[in-house]
Amino acid sequence: MDNVVQPTKIPHSRIEDALAIVLGTLMVSFGVMMLKQAGALTGSTAGIAFLISYLTHLSFGSAFFLINLPFYWLAVRRMGWEFTIKTFCAVGLVSLFTHLHPMFIHFSALNPFYATLFGNVVMGIGFIVLFRHKASLGGINILALWLQDHIGLRAGKLQMAVDTCVVLASLFVVSLPILLASIAGAVILNLIIAMNHRPGRYMV
């Protein structure tokens, strides 16, 4: 029988985790900036933050940071302190970078449909970087996982319900073409995550 050499797991170092969180949040926040300038939105916690920013004078970054605060307690209970600290840092950096990007980049002409689709692509890649280093952007996803553990409610069902509510609420905020582009962009984002973030696909 041939000897099969099992690959050795090489965990990420703290420096690698830190650099990945910075890179991932830069990408997510850049995608957010494109959606914001296009007047579009996305699903989940970010979608709620978009709605708040469109309906009030609160910026997306501030709304996103505040919405996530109640979920950290659940993150500690379900995911542990390391995941929670990484997620807190990631949320804080996305909130910060969404304020900083417009100081350096401004699009004088931007096709809203293209910006919405490409913004979601960039965000999807950023999410994968964060997930690979055991971090997230918290919010509804943490609540969904916690409810799945405690009452048996499937996480995907709650996520779908929240996204549906965001879409319905956005009917009063954005135009129909932008809404359709936002839905298409959210589908693309979730497909990117589904294709690239599966349990057991990677060694670390």
**pLDDT tens digits for range 168-183:** 788 888 888 888 888 8
Please choose, from the candidates 116, 105, 106, the residue with its C-alpha nearest in 3D space to the C-alpha of residue 35. Answer: 116
Read off the tokens for 60: 């997306």
Higher per-residue pLDDT: 193 or 181: 181
Is residue 138 pLDDT above 60, yes or no?
Answer: yes
Q: What span, in angstroms and rounded, lies between the C-alpha atoms of 82 and 75?
A: 10
Q: What span, in angstroms and rounded, lies between the C-alpha atoms of 124 and 103?
A: 23
At 4 the pLDDT is: 54
Is residue 1 pLDDT above 60, yes or no?
Answer: no
pTM, two decimal places: 0.82
Q: What span, in angstroms and rounded, lies between the C-alpha atoms of 19 and 167?
A: 34
**pLDDT tens digits for range 111-136:** 989 999 999 999 989 988 888 888 88
Higher per-residue pLDDT: 93 or 146: 93
Three-state secondary structure call for residue 18: helix
